[in-house]
Structure 1
Amino acid sequence: MKSTSGPYLTYKLELIQTQAIKAADRIYKKDIGLSLREIRLLRFIHDYPKITATDLVGKMVLDKALLSKNIAVLEKKGLIKRETSSHDSRVQCLFLTEDGEKVWQQAEIIGRGLENITFGSFSDEEWENLHASLDKLIELVNKWQASLKK
């Protein structure tokens, strides 16, 4: 164990997450008209064309009802579309529309700018170490969760 005093690491991570999400959410809503969660959904659909809503639930760690609501918002705004899978007619695959691609590009510019504001003072080595540590933490938490399911 590294430390037995002070705030738990999970508390610090949650605090960072909450503050960053609130700040970014305001900016995305003002500049693009979408919430951060909707932007993240758009990013996943961009990164995984033909993804299904079921696969998104697992990747985004979101409640199915909340995900459905966010998908409906993006569809209504004409940013994503559904197509029936060529492999299984019961499955709907999600894609970005042309407008969705444009909004995704805007969101990337904003997101990279926000990341630079937040982490711009990190050296390249600190940045790489942070990512490596977080990747390792994700892996360890996933293993821990898997062990609880047994």
Structure 2
Amino acid sequence: MDNDCMNNIEDRKIIYQLINFAIKHKKIMQNYLDETGVYQAQHRLLMEIFHNQNASQNHIVKSMDVSAATIAVSLKKLEKGGYIKKEMDEVDNRLNKITITEKGKKVVEQSKQIFDSVDGRVFEGFTEEEKLTLFLLLQKLNDNLNSMEDELKSKKERK
């Protein structure tokens, strides 16, 4: 880019680049993750279960900020596929403890390798300083969005 363009870049062009990046990244990740045999939403759930062994369904719903119905459907599919097991809690029969099976652990391990590989390729040619600068700038953008989100919440609460 020439210097004149760099000095006058429009905000929406930057936002377009961020959105375009996110869309491409998601598409590429999904393409690689399809090899694991687990759909994206189920994959995220499987990772959550891996990191929170014996978690209850309610705990997963809260930690992932997803509806109970969505989690229930995904858990059923993961259980049917042999990736997780549900066991009734001995102390409270209303709760199910959810654990990951060996098959599920293999998918998680395969996924971690995919993440590492894609992340490495995305940041190819970046110096540590450039990555830190980008991180700090994105954090600043996120802080601005969080502030806007808080304003919207308080507006709704006042109505």
TM-score by length of 2: 0.71
Is the contact made by 2:57 and 2:95 (CA closer than 8 Å) also made in structure 1?
A: no
State which of 17, 31, 36 in structure 1 corresponds to 2:22.
17
Q: Which residues of structure 2 form unaligned runs of 5+?
A: 1-9
2:58 matched to 1:28?
A: no
Structure with bigger gyration radius: 2
Moved more, 94-103 or 124-133: 124-133
Check the 8 A contact 1:21/1:36 in 2, yes or no. no
Greater shift, 6-15 or 45-54, is seen at: 6-15
Give the counterpart letter for 1:121 in structure 2: G
1:60 matched to which residue of 2? Answer: 64
Distance 1:129 1:49, change over 3 A: farther
User: Displacement of 1:100 after TM fit?
Assistant: 1.0
Aligned to 2:95: 91
RMSD of Structure 2 on Structure 1 (CA): 3.0
Equivalent pairs counted in the alignment come to 147
**Deviation of residue 117 (structure 1)?**
1.3
Deviations 1:40-87 (A, max 9, x none): 211111111122232323333333333222222211111111122344
- What is the TM-score normalised by the length of structure 1? 0.74
Structure with more helix by fraction? 2
Structure-2 separation of matches of 1:60 and 1:49? 15
Aligned counterparts of 1:47 and 1:39: Cα–Cα separation in 2: 13
Which letter maps to 1:59? Answer: S
Q: Structure 1 25/125 Cα, relative in aligned 2: closer, same or farther at 3 Å? A: same
Q: d(CA) in 2 for partners of 1:67 and 1:28?
A: 19
Partner AA of 2:129 in structure 1: E
Task: Give, in angstroms, the shift of residue 93 of structure 1.
Answer: 2.1
Instruction: Report whether the alignment pairs 1:72 with 2:82.
Output: no
Q: Which region of structure 1 is more displaced relative to structure 2, 77-86 or 138-147?
A: 138-147
